[in-house]
Amino acid sequence: MEKQTNKNGVIVAIISMMFLFAMISFVTNLAAPFGNIWGKTYSWAGMVGNLMNFLAYLFMGIPAGKMLVKYGYKKTALIAMAVGFIGLFIQYLSSIFGGSSEMFTIQENPVMLNFIIYLIGAFICGFCVCMLNTVVNPMLNLLGGGGNRGNQLIQTGGTLNSLTATLTPFFVGVLIGEVTDKTSMNDVTPLLWVAMAVFAVTFLIIAFVTIPEPQSTASGVTFEHSPWNFRHFVLGVIAIFFYVGIEVGVPAELNFYITKLGFPGAAAIAGGIVAIYWLLMLVGRFISSFVSGKISSRAQLISTSALGIILLVIAILLPESSSVSFHGVDVPVKCFFIIACGICTSIMWGCIFNLATEGLGKYTAPASGIFMTMVVGGGVMPFIQDQIATSLNDYISSYWLIVAMLGYLLYYGLVGSKNVNKDIPVD
């Protein structure tokens, strides 16, 4: 009987974590399409909201890991949901307040209070998704027993993560259609209210379900060493910094590229094409959730990194004049080679996390916090990519940065992911 109860608890825990995984991408992927709106007012602002969202990881990653050790998975998740609701509400406030209040100037253009409010909201939402990631990934990995099975659960959760990521830019594109000088945050407030409602409901669900703690949080646990003592973890931290930059930068810059082509309904078309990227991530993760029990994380990372490099090099070298019809509009073929990278990026997160934390034992929780800190790469690298694109006035050439980062992931899969510190006690 007790065995059955424990089994039911594990199932509830897995379902809860899957749902939280979905909410992570829903909140995160609001930033890039919202950037199209703010970019019409401030030419430099396209990826600033995204930068603020991911910058929060730099400050919250390690504290989130400590929260996990001290309070456990459930309490940390509840705090994250509350913080997320607050962040979304502040973003909503940017649609109704501060549009006529000048704060300072950048490049001789006034920056209004409503944009500052939006950035504060995006930053607070970053705290939320950082804490959720810190909870979800190690818990699914541990509930699966680590190894290939642990990665399998992460990939299954990633499927739901990709589903919401697919829907987010699509919904934003439908709501705003074509970005004009009159487009504002007022046009997307329904999406913010939906997100807040989902957070509130999720908070109540998580509050009333029993979630087993797969890892002891007892104060008596001593840490003689640190996750930093494991080479494969250190290199994995760098890998996740680049990976998140790749995952966010590939669709975000493509969104800007297509929108800037300027044909009628460009924002809606861009949202539709970018949604395909996230849909392909969903497909890739769905497939990986079945095969990860048999195919190692290392093999998956190596193959997808190599394929991603090939797809992007083809996209960069293809002439813009080569186009296909998409919903009655001629779109450069290179766009579809770029979104095909969604198949590649789909499985990388789970693979890298699994490889980087493999064999860490009691150091897994603090390692997860450190790991989350480097998710700031999802803000830093796309921002750098966007600056390259705008300075060169060439969005496609900026993808050479993505190619270089994929090169590092290929190295990590081939060499860097091997645990050479098995002599360190982890029990």
**What is the pLDDT at residue 394?**
87
pLDDT tens digits for 27-64? 777 776 677 677 777 777 667 877 888 888 888 888 88
Structure tokens at 81: 């949901």
| Residue 412 C-beta-side C-alpha neighbours within 13 Å | 32
Q: Is 310 left (phi over 0), alpha (psi -120 to 50) or beta?
A: alpha
Q: Are 365 and 138 in contact (CB under 8 A)?
A: yes
Closest-CA residue to 162 (of 288, 325, 265, 302): 288
The structure tokens 């009159």 sit at 182
Could you tell me how many residues make up the chain? Answer: 427
Record the pTM.
0.73
pLDDT tens digits for 248-272? 899 888 988 888 887 777 777 887 8
pLDDT tens digits for 176-199? 555 556 667 777 788 788 888 878
- Where exactly are the structural domains of the chain? 2-212+226-416
Q: Which residue type does 259 have? A: T
Write down the architecture of domain 2-212+226-416 according to CATH.
Answer: Up-down Bundle (1.20)
Triad 406, 339, 347: Cα angle to 5°: 55
The structure tokens 């093999």 sit at 299
Triad 165, 171, 174: Cα angle to 5°: 145
CA distance 40 to 43: 6
pLDDT digit of tens for each residue in the chain (427 aa)? Answer: 445 555 665 677 677 777 777 778 777 777 766 776 777 777 776 678 778 888 888 888 888 878 877 888 888 889 998 999 999 999 999 888 877 788 878 777 788 898 899 899 989 998 998 888 888 777 776 666 656 666 677 767 767 766 776 677 667 666 655 555 666 777 778 878 888 887 888 888 778 877 666 554 445 556 677 888 899 999 999 999 999 999 989 988 898 888 888 777 777 788 788 888 888 888 887 887 778 778 888 999 999 999 999 999 999 999 988 888 887 888 889 999 999 999 999 889 888 988 998 888 777 777 877 887 888 888 889 889 988 998 888 889 999 999 999 999 999 999 999 988 887 876 6
